Amino acid sequence: MQGGGMHDRRTVVVAGLAVSLAGGTAGCRPAGRPGSSASPAGAPRSVISLNPCLDVILVEVADPAQIAALSHFARDHYGSTIADLARTLPFTWGSAEEVIALQPDMVLAPRLGARASLAAIERAGIRTALFDLPETVADSLEQVRELARLVGHPARGLALAGRIETALMAAAPRPGTPSLSALVFMPGGFVSGPGTLMDEMMRRAGLENAASRYGLTGSMNLPLERVIADPPDLLLAGEPLPGKASRAERIMDHPALTRLAREMRRAVFPERLLFCGGPVLIQTAAALARARDAATTRQA
């Protein structure tokens, strides 16, 4: 999943596969939010997040004054659920030099990030906390609770996990709701099969992941011909990116799919909801439920 454009680089990072820490120019430092409260004794006074999926958790559980910087990806309105807030907070481009210059007490990063650069940060005496990409809702909730503990606010983590669980229950189908097959197309034409967080979210929303019947596991590319030959009840793909459409978006406009309009409903599923867990799951659950209900109403 590599490409030369900023959109492609953002996609790789948001997916949690890697965060590039090498090189880069120091980002500006906007003023933080007012009204921060004193953090508990022993909590890190300044924290940097180098991953957009960790960004969305950090802003929910940390005091504003604790946030030394977010990743620059958090400021992208197309790919981030917290872009407006992120634009009021400091950020970095993710280089080791920037991080070391800011001298935070803790750096949050994906475990699959650039090890050499993370090692340089650790040699500078800066503590790092590394996180895996959650593949289940349970893993994501534990990540929320763990990050909150690390920044000294465990009660906030418990409260956020509770909000997520409540949203998932609210998005569950009512008894008697017809079963629908669905497919979520990601940038590059990838789909999420069994063993992924998206697969679990679809099942919790009462949607049968059509990737299973295509024999896919994990995140894999799916040829359009297979969709046409055996279309799901519901096809979801991202919003058009101004000036550049991803393969998923181009697929939505394919003439062959237009001819399947009577068999298959199509819906927009914003890319900002595709990759991250944590509080993003609240919006993901609601979006899946809306698409399900709209498709169910059409079939009735």
- CATH of residue 188's domain is 3.40.50.1980
Residue 26 lies in a domain: no
Within-domain flag for 30 = no
Backbone φ and ψ of 130, nearest 5°: -105, 140
247 vs 9: CA distance, rounded Å: 15
In a domain, 116, yes or no: yes
Indicate if 69 and 11 belong to the same structural domain: yes
The residue written with tokens 């590039």 in the block is: 20
Final residue of a domain: which of 73, 108, 133? Answer: 133
Identify the pLDDT of residue 252: 60
Q: Which residues of the chain have pLDDT under 70?
A: 1-39, 240-259, 261-262, 298-300
**Same-domain pairing of 176 and 225:** yes
How confident is the model at residue 300, as a pLDDT? 52
Predicted local distance difference test score (pLDDT) of residue 271: 87
- Does residue 31 fall inside a structural domain? no
The pLDDT value given to residue 125? 96
40 within some domain? no
- The verdict on 2 and 120 lying in the same domain is yes
Indicate whether 92 belongs to any domain.
yes
Please tell me the total count of domains within the chain: 2
Residue 4 lies in a domain: yes
Whether 227 and 115 map to the same domain: the answer is no
Indicate whether 67 and 193 sit together in one domain: no
**112 and 190 in a common domain:** no
Asked whether residue 183 falls in the same domain as residue 123, the answer is: no
Domain that holds residue 213: 170-299
Place of tokens 């990806």: 73
The reported pLDDT for the residue numbered 8 is 40
My answer on whether 121 and 174 are in the same domain is no
Q: Is residue 61 part of a domain?
A: yes
Judge whether 267 and 234 are in contact, CB under 8 Å. Answer: yes
Instruction: For residues 109 and 193, state if they share a domain.
Output: no
* Two structure tokens written together for 175: 């008894």
User: Which of 113, 133, 153 is where one domain is finished?
Assistant: 133
